[in-house]
Structure 1
């Protein structure tokens, strides 16, 4: 059980980790295993699972039924929609138990959003402030601020820091409805001003 008195664990939730930050809430039927790291002010919703060896940053939203396995690192301010699933073994077999270096690490950079039922194949990095649309299957790295959808996930545009998809701009300088301005530089999106 989490030692930190500032961690809320629902009566029907389980938190075996001693490394959970203050202000974090673990709801009914969620399970945070011993050896998992969960940062401050996170919301671990019903039925979520955070395995030993997983690392979750601060202010992360882990919606219902999210599965975060050993080798997955989720940085600060990430949103994981309902049913997001990470893998950690590229060639799983029930009769072979892989651990440690035999598992491929996955990284979700700060500010990224993964929509409902996204599947992330191990060994990939999802860039900062990227937006992965509901139901996508991520099989390759996703650039910072990319807006990706589909199976396999492919970039169809760019995402603003506010989360909105940026409109196509023939001059390569999209402006968001929130007022932020951007410029595409090769295969990157950079803020303007």
Structure 2
């Protein structure tokens, strides 16, 4: 591990994890074997990063968030406090015969989060789902299906209620286009997806 990485004395980082420069791992966080954390990341107090999870650069994992394997997070992803990325489609502690399940009794599936997307506090993403680039999942939402890029989703189950720009602000309708009130970026909606307008 590089000298440019900060790991709190009470954090549990497996020797087989790879952590990029300028990353900070705070009090009581756990980073499991095979996890690959990019540069400039922040892993908050009590957060859990499962085996072989991949985080891109500049990700922020807030306090007590749980990122289960085999999740894949691109650059600039935000995971809010106590959010959960699941990995078991059919969760059970025991088999039908009452015996305890082992690692051989199930197949882990992951959540994929694309560049710049944000998952709000206490939201749950039920694997396998993909959250599109720059999308925003509201606090407390339960995501059960893929979320398009730039979508703003809320509720249980999560549903799209609008669009957001790269600054995270809801986009405003301007004729046929959608506009970010902060950056002025313009988008056009086509077939349930947004594309940038030059």
Structure 1 length normalisation: TM-score? 0.93
Q: Which consecutive residues of structure 2, in runs of 5 or more, have no partner in the other structure?
A: 94-99
Residues 143 and 65 (structure 1), Cα distance of their counterparts in 2 relative to 1, 3 Å cut: same
SS of aligned partner of 1:93: coil
User: Which residue of structure 1 aligns with residue 101 of structure 2?
Assistant: 96
- Offset, 1:184: 0.9
1:124 corresponds, among 125, 129, 144, to 129
Indicate the residue corresponding to 1:7 in structure 2.
Answer: 5
Deviation for aligned residue 1:15: 1.3
Match of 2:177 among 166, 173, 180: 173
Distance of aligned partners of 1:190 and 1:30 in 2 relative to their CA distance in 1, 3 Å threshold: same
Which residue number corresponds to residue 145 of structure 2? 140
Cα deviation for residue 11 of structure 1 reads 1.3
Q: Once the 2 structures are TM-superposed, how far is the Cα of residue 161 of structure 1 from its aligned partner? A: 1.0
Q: Where does residue 111 of structure 2 map in the other structure?
A: 106
**Distance in 2 separating the partners of 1:67 and 1:99:** 22
Q: Which runs of 5+ in 1 are unaligned?
A: none
Contact 1:9–1:26 at 8 Å: present in 2 too? Answer: yes
Residue of structure 2 equivalent to 1:34: 33
Distance 2:63 2:41 in 1: 13
Displacement of 1:168 in angstroms is 4.0
- Alpha-carbon RMSD: 1.6
Structure 1 segments, 4+ long, off by >4 Å, are none
Is the CA contact 1:115–1:134 (under 8 Å) kept in the aligned structure 2?
Answer: yes
**Distance verdict in 2 for CA 1:76–1:161, change over 3 Å:** same
CA distance in 1, matches of 2:132, 2:105: 24
Distance 1:63 1:174 in 2: 30
- Count residues with an aligned counterpart: 190
Superposition TM-score, scaled by structure 2 size: 0.91
